[in-house]
Structure 1
Amino acid sequence: MAVLFALLLTAVVVSTGMGYISITPGEVVRIVGARLTDTGALVAGMDETFPVVVMDVRLPRILTAVVVGGGLALSGCVFQGILLNPLADPYTLGVSAGAAFGAAVALLLNISAMGTFSIPVFAFAGAVLTLVLVLYLSASGGGFSSNNLILSGIIVASILSAAISFLKYVADEQVAVIIFWLMGSFGSRTWGDVGFTLVFVTFGLIVFLFFSRDLNLLALGDRSAASLGVNTGRVTLVILVTASLVTAVCVSVSGIIGFVGLLVPHMMRSLTGPDNRRLLPACLLAGGILMLAADTVTRAVLPHEIPIGVLTALIGGPFFCYIFRRKQMGRASV
């Protein structure tokens, strides 16, 4: 945990200095320190544009990427544990499709009543309504089964994907804006976005850690967990709703960014083991590092910025195929 935290802090400082205007890590630390301590002497003699670039342009975007990456990885870890499916990720229940539909509606109707928060609010509302519908479809007398939840999520996501395609068809000039949002981006993020996502991700982490022991027992199966004193129905509902809300908040701010919630839990599980008391914080930190690295590449390394969802899919897809194939080869050798 200490190594991951140190890597994350280092990545934040180095990434903040990268871009069209190059700023050294030492200057970044001095600027942040001057803002936190209100000590102007720390930035004496420095270019006047540096504090503006760091505090008002780059740092909100970077911290939003870190929090969103951590939230998606955290939710992916929980979904894989609660659904007992190694291919589960934050979008398994169709939450991302609901957020995408809500954002597409806001973009199509050019709704700006809430300013810059209009699109995130509509995306969040679409994700929450999708979650409610999935839970309603999958509910049965015995509670929530993983198969019913996954099937319900696939059905709802397919319907919403068709609805999004229809919205793009009728969007005319605004279709490019909708497509770009669906690809994911952290451009023009503000400190409000940082605070908004940080509150929900922190709340999710607290809930998940509180139920980490129950989550460990649920991996043994519902019957085994119930025999050990776990209220499987209540715990499953609370964890699923919390993970879906964290995903909804992250998606509403960043757009659709895939593979982070799928890859990071597998990578960290090989380092920390399956105990969620260690795995969950590790996924939070590693997800932030991975998302920040991807955003830094799109923002400061490539000659032209591309949507971060495209980059994570291009990198994450082949990497996941490698992991999956290696596991298959390991099973075959046994």
Structure 2
Amino acid sequence: MSSFNLYRSSRYRRALFALSLALPVSLLLAAGVGAYFIPPLEIPRVLWEKADQAYAVLVAIRFPRVLLAALVGAMLALAGAVLQGLFRNPLADPGLIGVTSGAGLGAAIFIVLVPGAGPLQVFALPVMAFVGGLLATFGVWRLASNGGRVQVLTLLLAGIALNAAAGALIGLLISRASDEQLRSLTFWTLGGFGGATWITLLAMVPSGLLALWGLLRLAQPLNALVLGEREAFHLGVHLEPFKRQAVALSALAVGTAVAAAGGVGFIGLVAPHLFRLLAGPDHRYLLAGAALLGASLSVLADLVARTVVAPAELPVGVVTSLLGAPFFIWLLLRYKREVAR
């Protein structure tokens, strides 16, 4: 192995090691900081003694919230990394395949058209969002499919069309919504982890872990696809099954995340790019690195959302958009300069 390859390999490993340390640090920080402050270094003692109010706050409120934020961030970032590799476009985002807008439409239908759901809303709303996201992805796939083959560009255009249609239907439902329904829909659409419970977390763990496991296994075909579809085929990649697997697992990851937390934007775009800047584009490391980085970013964004205007709370989607939009503009300008060369 050349000295350059050894350097690149060690750079990837250093980045993964740093992110593996950053995630538990961010989890401890987010678990301790809040309206009821618990020194992060005291958390192990509090958990061991199980004696005071701090223990109840940690177990009942903070831990479900920070763990849900970490899992959602990991799923969004990993799906974003896979879709950027599939589309071979650094500006690709999980929302492009329609799952985010489909989930939003499913939630809007339930909030506006099923009044008086009461306690059922806690369970039925995420289910409707999840089903809406998967149906939207299936519709995009059917639109882009031609004789059993799917063109990536056609898939992208179908996603844009379905996003527009779902946005129009959500707007129609908003025009019919009452003030209470409008508030509920607005806060859900902007995203947040305020309603996190152990039940919510456990409900999303099976599909979330399945999506993470499946997406992490796509590193080798994504590396081959960088060379182009024809070259990837000659390297042994079965393109159509691979595309179906990548889109289905991405939809599962994003649908689960949106169902649990609403619309938390830009993590799927930002996290993969930050890891590329830290280490490089090799998907064998990029996928795991993006998941770790996305988890940390989501946890820290939630920490900012619930502390910066305390005792009130900002939607997490607002925080991630405020941070992600300038980054997206920078990426767009950089991509434009590279194309012009």
**TM-score normalised over the length of structure 2:** 0.90
Deviations 1:158-182 (A, max 9, x none): 1111100011110122111111111
* Residues 137-161 of structure 1, C-alpha deviations (whole Å, 9 max, x = no match): 0001261111111111111111111
| In 1: Cα distance, 2:339 partner to 2:227 partner | 20
Q: 226, 249, 272: which is aligned to 2:279?
A: 272
Paired residues of 1:80 and 1:89 also in contact (CA < 8 A): yes
What CA distance in whole angstroms lies between the structure 2 residues aligned with 1:306 and 1:209? 32
Corresponding position of 2:260 = 253
What letter matches 2:124 in structure 1?
A: S
Q: Which residue of 2 aligns with 1:3?
A: 18
Superposed displacement of residue 305, structure 1 = 1.0
Whole-Å Cα distance in 2 between the matches of residues 6 and 251 of structure 1? Answer: 27
* 1:227 partner letter: H
TM-aligned CA distance change 1:151 to 1:328, over 3 Å? closer
Asked if the contact 2:91–2:332 (Cα under 8 Å) also holds between the matched residues in 1, the reply is no
Q: What's 2:11 paired with? A: none
- CA offsets, 1:108-159, max 9 Å, x none? 1133574521110000010111111111100012611111111111111111
Distance 1:157 1:204 in 2: 22
The CA distance in 1 between the partners of 2:337 and 2:120, in whole Å, is 53
User: Structure 1 stretch 243-252 or stretch 219-228: which is displaced more?
Assistant: 219-228
| Alignment correspondent of 2:157 | 151
User: Aligned ranges for residues 175-324 of structure 1 at < 5 Å?
Assistant: 175-303=182-310, 304-324=312-332
CA distance in 2, matches of 1:233, 1:117: 35
Which residue number corresponds to residue 74 of structure 1? 78
By how many angstroms is 1:211 displaced? 2.5
1:20 Cα deviation after fit: 1.2
Encode CA deviations 1:234-266: one digit per residue, 9 max, x unaligned. 111111101111100000111111111011111
Indicate conservation of the 8 Å contact 1:112/1:118, yes or no: no
TM-fit CA distance, 1:17: 1.0
Equivalent residue for 1:13, pick from 16, 28, 37: 28
2:54 corresponds to 1:30: no
CA distance in 2, matches of 1:273, 1:249: 28
Moved more, 196-205 or 211-220: 196-205
Cα distance in 1 between the residues matched to 2:308 and 2:43: 19
> Is the contact made by 1:100 and 1:182 (CA closer than 8 Å) also made in structure 2?
yes
For structure 2, the residue ranges without an aligned partner over 5 or more in a row are 1-15
Amino acid at match of 2:254: T
Structure 1 stretch displaced more, 161-170 or 220-229: 220-229
CA RMSD of aligned residues (A): 1.7
TM-score (norm 1): 0.91
**1:14-163 correspondence to structure 2 within 5 Å:** 14-32=29-47, 34=48, 42-44=49-51, 48-108=52-112, 109-110=114-115, 111-112=117-118, 114=120, 116-141=122-147, 143-163=149-169
Return the letter of the residue paired with 1:100: G
